[in-house]
Structure 1
Amino acid sequence: MKIKIDDLSGGEVITLLEEHLADMYATSPPESVHALDVDALKSPDITFFSGWLSNQLQGCVAIKKLSSQHVELKSMRTASTARNSGVASALLTHVMQVAMKNGYRQMSLETGSQAFFKPARNLYEKFGFSYCPPFADYTDDPHSRFMTKYLTEKP
């Protein structure tokens, strides 16, 4: 799979993100949906990646700069045709490597608490993320789970 920085101009990527947002609103109350739309993902603090295999979109992921040493994982999504094929693991590995290469020491994320999000939580746990209190501008929410991982040794 080829993973590249994406400018969010392609129809396939936009469709995948629209599916992602639709699922978030279908499974969580509106005030608990923290997924970003295409315009918000174009922020200069966000780097958006897409993964491709034979010109077919496999998935996407973004990292948002929170500080000089801390990034947030955003918009992780695997195309329905690519589920359970290792796409999410490849995307997560890639953004963790990019983050470390750019000097970030910590990656955090917010995901849902509902059963729909259990496969995502399992993936993050497999990669060494642990549950943590809310970070950045998040607050306690029964529909959210917060996770973090130190990318290098703690200072």
Structure 2
Amino acid sequence: MHIEIDDLSRPQVHALLREHLAHMHALSPAEQVFALDLNQLRAPNITFWTLWENDELLGCVALKALSATHGEVKSMRTADPHRGRGAGRALLVQVVETAMQRGYQKLSLETGTHPEFMPAQQLYLSMGFKASGPFADYEANAHSLFMELALVNRVL
């Protein structure tokens, strides 16, 4: 498996992002879906990675710079056939390491509260994320769980 910064040009990536958005809309009301589409992921303050095994796409993740010291985990997705193989953890480690290299003090994320989000929540908890309140432009709602990870003095 190898992780690379991705330019969002490959059809496999487009398909995984379509799957991700469709799944988010199936689990939460449209106004509570905060997943980014292909064009939003091309913003200059976002770094997007993909995880590959040979020519097969296993997953993706993005890191959005909210400020010079605060980042947000976005578009975390493992392709359905590859769940449970460590792809999500590998991608999340990449984000945490990059955030630390950039001097971020904190990483935040928004995930869903539907039971299907439980594996993602467990992954985040296992990496040290803790429940928090809304951040950036988010507002509290019944469909979102907000989490954060303090990066100051953190060692991977």
TM-score w.r.t. length of structure 2: 0.97
Unpaired stretches in structure 1, ≥5 consecutive residues: none
Unpaired stretches in structure 2, ≥5 consecutive residues: none
The root-mean-square deviation of aligned C-alpha atoms, in Å, is 1.0
Distance (Å, rounded) in 2 between the aligned partners of 1:117 and 1:93? 19
SS of structure 2 residue aligned to 1:23: helix
CA shift for structure 1 position 137: 0.2
Deviations 1:92-141 (A, max 9, x none): 01111111111112100000011010111010000000000100000011
Indicate the percent of aligned positions where both proteins have the same amino acid.
50
1:51-130 alignment, distance < 5 Å? 51-130=51-130
AA in 2 matched with 1:6:
D
TM-score w.r.t. length of structure 1: 0.97
1:112-151 alignment, distance < 5 Å? 112-151=112-151
CA shift for structure 1 position 11: 0.3
- 1:31 and 2:36 matched: no
Aligned residues: 154
CA shift for structure 1 position 153: 3.1
Runs of 4+ in 1 over 3 A off after TM superposition: none
SS of structure 2 residue aligned to 1:139: coil
